[in-house]
Structure 1
Amino acid sequence: MTEALAMPPNYRVGPWTIDEVAVMPEDGMRHELVEGKLVTSPVPPPPHQNAGHRLIRILEAAAPIEFEGSPETNIRIGPDMFIPDVMVARSASLCEPGSLYVYPKDVILVGETLSPGNSKYERVWKSQRYAEGGIPFYMEIELPTMPRVTVYELRGTEYVRIADARAGEILKLSEPFEVSFDPSDLVGPRR
Protein backbone atom coordinates (compact mmCIF):
# COMPACT_ATOMS: atom_id res chain seq x y z
CA MET A 1 0.00 0.00 0.00
CA THR A 2 1.28 3.46 -0.83
CA GLU A 3 0.85 6.39 1.48
CA ALA A 4 -0.81 9.52 0.19
CA LEU A 5 1.28 12.67 0.40
CA ALA A 6 -0.42 15.08 2.78
CA MET A 7 -0.60 18.66 1.56
CA PRO A 8 -1.77 21.70 3.49
CA PRO A 9 -5.36 22.73 2.68
CA ASN A 10 -4.26 25.87 0.82
CA TYR A 11 -1.64 24.09 -1.32
CA ARG A 12 -1.89 24.32 -5.08
CA VAL A 13 0.50 23.71 -7.92
CA GLY A 14 -0.11 26.88 -9.87
CA PRO A 15 0.24 28.82 -11.98
CA TRP A 16 0.43 31.66 -9.50
CA THR A 17 -0.06 35.34 -10.21
CA ILE A 18 2.06 38.15 -8.84
CA ASP A 19 -0.88 39.61 -6.92
CA GLU A 20 -1.55 36.27 -5.19
CA VAL A 21 2.08 35.93 -4.14
CA ALA A 22 2.43 39.55 -3.01
CA VAL A 23 -0.41 39.21 -0.49
CA MET A 24 0.54 35.83 0.97
CA PRO A 25 0.57 35.90 4.77
CA GLU A 26 3.86 36.20 6.62
CA ASP A 27 4.98 32.66 7.38
CA GLY A 28 8.72 32.95 7.91
CA MET A 29 9.46 32.11 4.27
CA ARG A 30 10.42 34.18 1.23
CA HIS A 31 8.00 33.84 -1.67
CA GLU A 32 9.18 34.78 -5.16
CA LEU A 33 7.41 34.23 -8.47
CA VAL A 34 9.25 32.91 -11.52
CA GLU A 35 7.31 32.15 -14.70
CA GLY A 36 4.13 31.39 -12.76
CA LYS A 37 5.92 29.12 -10.31
CA LEU A 38 6.10 29.90 -6.61
CA VAL A 39 9.70 29.74 -5.36
CA THR A 40 9.79 29.45 -1.59
CA SER A 41 12.91 29.61 0.55
CA PRO A 42 13.55 30.12 4.25
CA VAL A 43 14.39 33.55 5.55
CA PRO A 44 18.21 33.76 5.50
CA PRO A 45 20.24 33.19 8.67
CA PRO A 46 21.33 36.17 10.83
CA PRO A 47 24.84 36.68 9.30
CA HIS A 48 23.28 36.86 5.82
CA GLN A 49 20.63 39.36 6.93
CA ASN A 50 23.05 41.38 9.04
CA ALA A 51 25.44 41.79 6.10
CA GLY A 52 22.56 43.05 3.95
CA HIS A 53 21.46 45.57 6.57
CA ARG A 54 25.01 46.86 7.02
CA LEU A 55 25.45 47.21 3.27
CA ILE A 56 22.19 49.12 3.01
CA ARG A 57 23.37 51.58 5.69
CA ILE A 58 26.66 52.11 3.81
CA LEU A 59 24.93 52.61 0.45
CA GLU A 60 22.16 54.81 1.83
CA ALA A 61 24.68 57.13 3.50
CA ALA A 62 26.38 57.66 0.12
CA ALA A 63 23.31 57.79 -2.15
CA PRO A 64 21.69 61.01 -3.36
CA ILE A 65 18.81 62.14 -1.12
CA GLU A 66 16.13 60.94 -3.56
CA PHE A 67 17.25 57.33 -3.10
CA GLU A 68 17.16 55.06 -0.10
CA GLY A 69 18.07 51.51 0.75
CA SER A 70 15.62 48.77 1.48
CA PRO A 71 16.09 45.16 2.57
CA GLU A 72 14.13 42.28 1.10
CA THR A 73 11.59 44.37 -0.82
CA ASN A 74 9.42 42.88 -3.58
CA ILE A 75 10.42 43.96 -7.06
CA ARG A 76 8.15 43.26 -10.00
CA ILE A 77 9.80 42.46 -13.32
CA GLY A 78 7.08 41.71 -15.86
CA PRO A 79 5.02 38.77 -14.53
CA ASP A 80 7.75 37.79 -12.05
CA MET A 81 8.47 39.00 -8.52
CA PHE A 82 11.83 38.78 -6.79
CA ILE A 83 13.10 39.74 -3.35
CA PRO A 84 16.69 40.99 -3.51
CA ASP A 85 18.65 41.11 -0.25
CA VAL A 86 19.62 44.73 -0.91
CA MET A 87 17.93 47.40 -2.99
CA VAL A 88 18.54 51.10 -3.55
CA ALA A 89 15.50 52.75 -5.10
CA ARG A 90 13.74 56.07 -5.40
CA SER A 91 12.41 56.99 -1.97
CA ALA A 92 8.98 57.84 -3.38
CA SER A 93 8.56 54.30 -4.76
CA LEU A 94 9.42 52.75 -1.39
CA CYS A 95 7.02 55.00 0.53
CA GLU A 96 3.95 54.67 -1.68
CA PRO A 97 0.99 53.68 0.55
CA GLY A 98 -0.50 50.28 -0.28
CA SER A 99 2.24 49.33 -2.72
CA LEU A 100 3.08 45.62 -2.79
CA TYR A 101 6.24 45.96 -4.88
CA VAL A 102 8.51 48.40 -6.68
CA TYR A 103 9.25 48.48 -10.40
CA PRO A 104 12.72 48.28 -12.00
CA LYS A 105 12.42 51.84 -13.37
CA ASP A 106 12.67 53.09 -9.77
CA VAL A 107 15.58 50.86 -8.75
CA ILE A 108 19.20 51.91 -9.23
CA LEU A 109 20.92 48.93 -7.60
CA VAL A 110 20.08 45.44 -6.32
CA GLY A 111 22.32 43.11 -4.35
CA GLU A 112 22.21 39.41 -3.58
CA THR A 113 24.07 37.65 -0.80
CA LEU A 114 25.21 34.33 -2.21
CA SER A 115 24.81 31.16 -0.19
CA PRO A 116 25.95 27.64 -1.11
CA GLY A 117 22.36 26.59 -1.77
CA ASN A 118 21.29 29.58 -3.86
CA SER A 119 24.33 30.81 -5.78
CA LYS A 120 23.28 29.51 -9.22
CA TYR A 121 19.76 30.88 -8.82
CA GLU A 122 21.14 34.25 -7.67
CA ARG A 123 24.07 34.51 -10.10
CA VAL A 124 22.37 33.25 -13.20
CA TRP A 125 18.60 33.46 -13.11
CA LYS A 126 17.94 36.45 -10.88
CA SER A 127 20.78 38.58 -12.25
CA GLN A 128 19.54 37.87 -15.79
CA ARG A 129 16.02 38.99 -14.85
CA TYR A 130 17.39 42.12 -13.14
CA ALA A 131 19.26 42.92 -16.38
CA GLU A 132 16.11 42.32 -18.44
CA GLY A 133 14.32 44.74 -16.11
CA GLY A 134 16.97 47.39 -16.85
CA ILE A 135 18.31 47.75 -13.30
CA PRO A 136 21.59 49.68 -13.80
CA PHE A 137 23.75 48.03 -11.09
CA TYR A 138 23.92 44.57 -9.55
CA MET A 139 25.99 43.52 -6.53
CA GLU A 140 27.01 40.04 -5.38
CA ILE A 141 27.98 39.61 -1.75
CA GLU A 142 29.88 36.48 -0.70
CA LEU A 143 30.28 35.91 3.01
CA PRO A 144 31.57 32.53 4.17
CA THR A 145 35.22 32.86 5.19
CA MET A 146 36.54 35.94 3.41
CA PRO A 147 33.82 38.45 2.52
CA ARG A 148 33.85 39.63 -1.07
CA VAL A 149 31.71 42.12 -2.96
CA THR A 150 31.52 42.25 -6.75
CA VAL A 151 29.69 45.05 -8.58
CA TYR A 152 28.32 44.85 -12.11
CA GLU A 153 27.02 47.59 -14.39
CA LEU A 154 24.36 46.98 -17.02
CA ARG A 155 25.78 47.52 -20.49
CA GLY A 156 23.31 46.76 -23.22
CA THR A 157 21.53 43.62 -22.04
CA GLU A 158 24.24 42.15 -19.81
CA TYR A 159 26.01 42.99 -16.58
CA VAL A 160 29.75 43.68 -16.82
CA ARG A 161 31.95 43.53 -13.73
CA ILE A 162 33.25 46.99 -12.78
CA ALA A 163 34.59 46.48 -9.26
CA ASP A 164 35.57 43.69 -6.90
CA ALA A 165 37.09 43.61 -3.42
CA ARG A 166 37.76 41.05 -0.71
CA ALA A 167 38.01 41.60 3.04
CA GLY A 168 40.94 43.90 3.78
CA GLU A 169 40.60 45.70 0.43
CA ILE A 170 38.57 48.81 -0.31
CA LEU A 171 35.75 48.61 -2.83
CA LYS A 172 35.52 52.00 -4.55
CA LEU A 173 32.65 53.03 -6.80
CA SER A 174 31.98 56.27 -8.64
CA GLU A 175 28.68 55.00 -10.06
CA PRO A 176 25.78 54.84 -9.33
CA PHE A 177 27.19 57.18 -6.66
CA GLU A 178 30.53 57.55 -4.89
CA VAL A 179 30.99 55.02 -2.12
CA SER A 180 33.89 53.05 -0.68
CA PHE A 181 34.06 50.36 1.99
CA ASP A 182 35.91 47.24 3.07
CA PRO A 183 33.78 44.08 2.61
CA SER A 184 34.90 42.98 6.10
CA ASP A 185 32.67 45.80 7.44
CA LEU A 186 29.69 43.59 6.53
CA VAL A 187 30.51 40.78 8.98
CA GLY A 188 31.43 40.18 12.60
CA PRO A 189 30.75 42.33 15.65
CA ARG A 190 30.38 46.08 15.12
CA ARG A 191 33.64 47.95 15.28
Structure 2
Amino acid sequence: MRPVEPGEFTVADLELAPDEGPRYELVDGVLLVTYMSSTIHQRALGALMLHLASACPEHLKVLPGPLEFRPNDRLALVPDLLVLPNKEHVMRWVDELALVVEVVVSTTRTVDQVLKPELYARAGVPAYWIFDPVEEELTVLELADGSYQVRAVVSGNDVFEAELPFSVRIVPADLIE
Protein backbone atom coordinates (compact mmCIF):
# COMPACT_ATOMS: atom_id res chain seq x y z
CA MET A 1 0.00 0.00 0.00
CA ARG A 2 1.15 3.55 -0.63
CA PRO A 3 1.93 5.94 2.24
CA VAL A 4 -1.11 8.13 2.89
CA GLU A 5 -2.40 10.51 5.50
CA PRO A 6 -5.22 9.26 7.76
CA GLY A 7 -8.58 9.59 6.03
CA GLU A 8 -7.09 9.47 2.53
CA PHE A 9 -7.35 5.77 1.72
CA THR A 10 -9.55 4.77 -1.22
CA VAL A 11 -10.69 1.43 -2.58
CA ALA A 12 -7.82 1.65 -5.10
CA ASP A 13 -5.43 1.25 -2.15
CA LEU A 14 -7.26 -1.92 -1.09
CA GLU A 15 -6.49 -3.45 -4.49
CA LEU A 16 -2.83 -3.51 -3.41
CA ALA A 17 -3.51 -5.24 -0.07
CA PRO A 18 -2.67 -8.95 0.19
CA ASP A 19 -5.54 -11.43 -0.08
CA GLU A 20 -4.34 -13.36 2.98
CA GLY A 21 -3.80 -12.15 6.50
CA PRO A 22 -5.74 -9.36 8.21
CA ARG A 23 -9.10 -8.14 6.95
CA TYR A 24 -8.95 -4.60 5.56
CA GLU A 25 -12.03 -2.37 5.52
CA LEU A 26 -12.42 1.29 4.59
CA VAL A 27 -14.74 3.83 6.26
CA ASP A 28 -14.68 7.41 4.96
CA GLY A 29 -11.07 6.97 3.89
CA VAL A 30 -9.95 5.47 7.22
CA LEU A 31 -8.47 1.97 7.12
CA LEU A 32 -9.83 -0.58 9.62
CA VAL A 33 -7.79 -3.74 10.20
CA THR A 34 -9.09 -6.85 11.95
CA TYR A 35 -7.45 -10.22 12.43
CA MET A 36 -8.39 -13.89 12.38
CA SER A 37 -11.52 -14.85 14.25
CA SER A 38 -12.10 -17.46 16.96
CA THR A 39 -13.21 -21.05 16.55
CA ILE A 40 -16.72 -20.26 17.84
CA HIS A 41 -16.95 -17.44 15.26
CA GLN A 42 -15.96 -19.78 12.43
CA ARG A 43 -18.34 -22.54 13.55
CA ALA A 44 -21.28 -20.11 13.82
CA LEU A 45 -20.42 -18.57 10.47
CA GLY A 46 -20.28 -21.97 8.79
CA ALA A 47 -23.60 -23.04 10.31
CA LEU A 48 -25.28 -19.78 9.26
CA MET A 49 -23.93 -20.07 5.73
CA LEU A 50 -25.14 -23.65 5.31
CA HIS A 51 -28.53 -22.82 6.81
CA LEU A 52 -29.08 -19.75 4.61
CA ALA A 53 -27.71 -21.40 1.47
CA SER A 54 -30.09 -24.35 1.85
CA ALA A 55 -33.11 -21.98 1.82
CA CYS A 56 -31.79 -19.43 -0.68
CA PRO A 57 -33.89 -18.95 -3.85
CA GLU A 58 -32.18 -19.10 -7.25
CA HIS A 59 -32.28 -15.34 -7.86
CA LEU A 60 -29.99 -14.79 -4.82
CA LYS A 61 -26.74 -16.34 -3.59
CA VAL A 62 -25.11 -16.65 -0.16
CA LEU A 63 -21.37 -16.04 0.09
CA PRO A 64 -18.86 -15.62 2.92
CA GLY A 65 -16.37 -12.77 3.24
CA PRO A 66 -13.71 -11.74 2.33
CA LEU A 67 -15.86 -10.46 -0.53
CA GLU A 68 -16.00 -6.67 -0.14
CA PHE A 69 -19.03 -4.42 -0.32
CA ARG A 70 -18.05 -1.18 -2.09
CA PRO A 71 -20.93 1.25 -2.58
CA ASN A 72 -18.48 4.12 -3.22
CA ASP A 73 -14.73 4.78 -3.41
CA ARG A 74 -14.35 5.67 0.29
CA LEU A 75 -16.27 2.75 1.78
CA ALA A 76 -15.32 -0.92 1.58
CA LEU A 77 -16.72 -3.32 4.15
CA VAL A 78 -16.11 -7.05 4.48
CA PRO A 79 -19.19 -8.76 5.91
CA ASP A 80 -18.86 -12.17 7.52
CA LEU A 81 -21.69 -13.41 5.32
CA LEU A 82 -23.64 -11.76 2.54
CA VAL A 83 -26.64 -12.41 0.37
CA LEU A 84 -26.64 -10.76 -3.04
CA PRO A 85 -28.38 -10.96 -6.41
CA ASN A 86 -27.30 -14.03 -8.39
CA LYS A 87 -25.87 -12.14 -11.32
CA GLU A 88 -22.55 -12.55 -13.06
CA HIS A 89 -19.49 -14.06 -11.44
CA VAL A 90 -18.03 -11.78 -8.77
CA MET A 91 -14.28 -11.71 -8.19
CA ARG A 92 -13.44 -9.44 -5.24
CA TRP A 93 -16.16 -6.87 -4.53
CA VAL A 94 -19.86 -6.07 -5.01
CA ASP A 95 -21.96 -2.92 -4.82
CA GLU A 96 -25.41 -4.44 -4.18
CA LEU A 97 -26.55 -6.58 -1.24
CA ALA A 98 -29.84 -8.03 0.02
CA LEU A 99 -28.58 -9.08 3.49
CA VAL A 100 -25.44 -8.72 5.58
CA VAL A 101 -24.70 -11.01 8.53
CA GLU A 102 -22.00 -10.27 11.10
CA VAL A 103 -20.96 -12.77 13.76
CA VAL A 104 -19.73 -10.71 16.70
CA VAL A 105 -16.67 -11.44 18.76
CA SER A 106 -15.12 -9.33 21.51
CA THR A 107 -12.77 -7.52 19.10
CA THR A 108 -15.48 -6.54 16.61
CA ARG A 109 -18.50 -5.98 18.86
CA THR A 110 -18.61 -2.15 18.66
CA VAL A 111 -17.90 -2.08 14.94
CA ASP A 112 -20.54 -4.75 14.20
CA GLN A 113 -23.23 -3.36 16.52
CA VAL A 114 -22.73 0.41 16.18
CA LEU A 115 -20.67 1.45 13.15
CA LYS A 116 -21.60 -1.09 10.49
CA PRO A 117 -25.39 -0.85 10.90
CA GLU A 118 -25.16 2.87 10.23
CA LEU A 119 -22.95 2.38 7.18
CA TYR A 120 -25.02 -0.42 5.65
CA ALA A 121 -28.24 1.55 6.25
CA ARG A 122 -26.76 4.60 4.49
CA ALA A 123 -25.82 2.32 1.58
CA GLY A 124 -29.39 1.01 1.37
CA VAL A 125 -28.80 -2.64 2.34
CA PRO A 126 -32.33 -3.94 3.15
CA ALA A 127 -31.42 -6.24 6.05
CA TYR A 128 -28.61 -6.58 8.60
CA TRP A 129 -28.29 -9.47 11.05
CA ILE A 130 -25.99 -9.60 14.06
CA PHE A 131 -25.34 -13.01 15.58
CA ASP A 132 -23.65 -13.34 18.96
CA PRO A 133 -22.56 -16.99 19.31
CA VAL A 134 -21.58 -16.65 22.98
CA GLU A 135 -25.02 -15.32 23.96
CA GLU A 136 -26.78 -17.44 21.30
CA GLU A 137 -28.59 -14.28 20.18
CA LEU A 138 -29.67 -13.09 16.74
CA THR A 139 -30.61 -9.43 16.24
CA VAL A 140 -32.46 -8.72 13.00
CA LEU A 141 -32.48 -5.19 11.61
CA GLU A 142 -34.50 -4.15 8.55
CA LEU A 143 -34.33 -0.91 6.61
CA ALA A 144 -37.29 1.46 6.94
CA ASP A 145 -37.20 5.12 5.88
CA GLY A 146 -33.41 5.12 5.56
CA SER A 147 -32.53 3.60 8.93
CA TYR A 148 -32.59 0.18 10.51
CA GLN A 149 -35.44 -0.84 12.77
CA VAL A 150 -35.19 -3.85 15.07
CA ARG A 151 -37.42 -6.53 13.57
CA ALA A 152 -36.55 -9.24 16.10
CA VAL A 153 -34.14 -10.30 18.82
CA VAL A 154 -34.19 -14.06 19.37
CA SER A 155 -32.01 -16.20 21.59
CA GLY A 156 -31.42 -19.79 22.55
CA ASN A 157 -34.16 -22.07 21.22
CA ASP A 158 -36.46 -19.21 20.17
CA VAL A 159 -37.40 -19.25 16.50
CA PHE A 160 -37.06 -16.41 13.99
CA GLU A 161 -39.08 -16.76 10.78
CA ALA A 162 -37.27 -14.53 8.28
CA GLU A 163 -39.08 -13.05 5.31
CA LEU A 164 -36.35 -10.71 4.09
CA PRO A 165 -34.51 -11.42 1.85
CA PHE A 166 -36.22 -14.84 1.69
CA SER A 167 -38.12 -17.25 3.93
CA VAL A 168 -35.89 -19.12 6.35
CA ARG A 169 -36.30 -20.36 9.91
CA ILE A 170 -33.44 -19.56 12.32
CA VAL A 171 -32.92 -20.98 15.82
CA PRO A 172 -29.82 -19.39 17.40
CA ALA A 173 -28.93 -22.41 19.57
CA ASP A 174 -28.79 -24.60 16.44
CA LEU A 175 -26.04 -22.41 15.00
CA ILE A 176 -23.44 -23.17 17.65
CA GLU A 177 -23.73 -26.93 18.13
Tell me, yes or no, whether TM beats 0.5.
Answer: yes
Q: How large is the Cα RMSD of the aligned pairs?
A: 1.7
Aligned to 2:28: 35
Structure 2 CA distance for aligned equivalents of residues 67 and 57 of structure 1? 14
Paired positions, count: 173
Q: Distance in 2 between matches of 1:82 and 1:22?
A: 13
- Does residue 65 (structure 1) correspond to residue 58 (structure 2)? The answer is yes
Alignment equivalent of 2:76, drawn from 66, 81, 94: 81
2:83 aligned with 1:103, yes or no?
no
Deviation at 1:164, TM superposition (A): 2.0
**Counterpart code for 2:95:** Y
Find the partner of 1:115 among 92, 105, 108.
Answer: 105
Give distance in 1, aligned partners of 2:34 and 2:79: 13
1:132 aligns with 2:127: no
In the alignment, the residues of structure 2 paired with residue 174 and residue 67 of structure 1 have an alpha-carbon distance, to the nearest angstrom, of 14
Tell me the SS of whatever aligns to 1:92.
coil
User: How much does 1:172 deviate?
Assistant: 1.2
Give the counterpart of 1:154 among 114, 128, 143.
143
Residues 22 and 100, structure 1, Cα contact 8 Å, conserved in 2: no
Cα deviation for residue 51 of structure 1 reads 1.0
Measured in 2, the distance between the counterparts of 1:167 and 1:12 equals 47
Cα shift readout 1:44-93 (whole Å, capped 9, x = no counterpart): 12221221121122112222111111111200022210001110111225
Stretches of structure 2 lacking an aligned partner (at least 5 in a row): none
Q: Quick one: distance in 2 between partners of 1:180 and 1:22? A: 37
Supply the distance in 1 between the matched residues of 2:152 and 2:127 (Cα, whole angstroms).
Answer: 11
Q: Work out which of the residue numbers 134, 155, 172 in structure 2 matches 1:166.
A: 155
Aligned equivalents of 2:2, 2:39: Cα separation in 1: 29
Aligned-partner Cα distance in 1 for 2:132–2:124: 23
Structure 2 Cα separation of the partners of residues 84 and 23 of structure 1: 20
Q: CA deviation at 1:12?
A: 3.1
Question: What fraction of aligned residue pairs are identical, expressed as a percent?
Answer: 26
What TM-score, normalized by structure 2, do the two folds share? Answer: 0.89
Q: Which residue of 2 aligns with 1:7?
A: none
Superposed CA deviations along residues 98-143 of structure 1, whole A, max 9, x for unmatched, are: x431003xx1100111222222211121111100111000001011
- 2:15 corresponds in structure 1 to 22
In the superposition, the TM-score normalised over structure 1's length comes to 0.83
> Cα distance 1:33–1:147, how it changes in 2: closer, same or farther (>3 A)?
same
Q: Which amino acid aligns with 1:158?
A: S
Q: 2:92 is aligned with what amino acid?
A: L
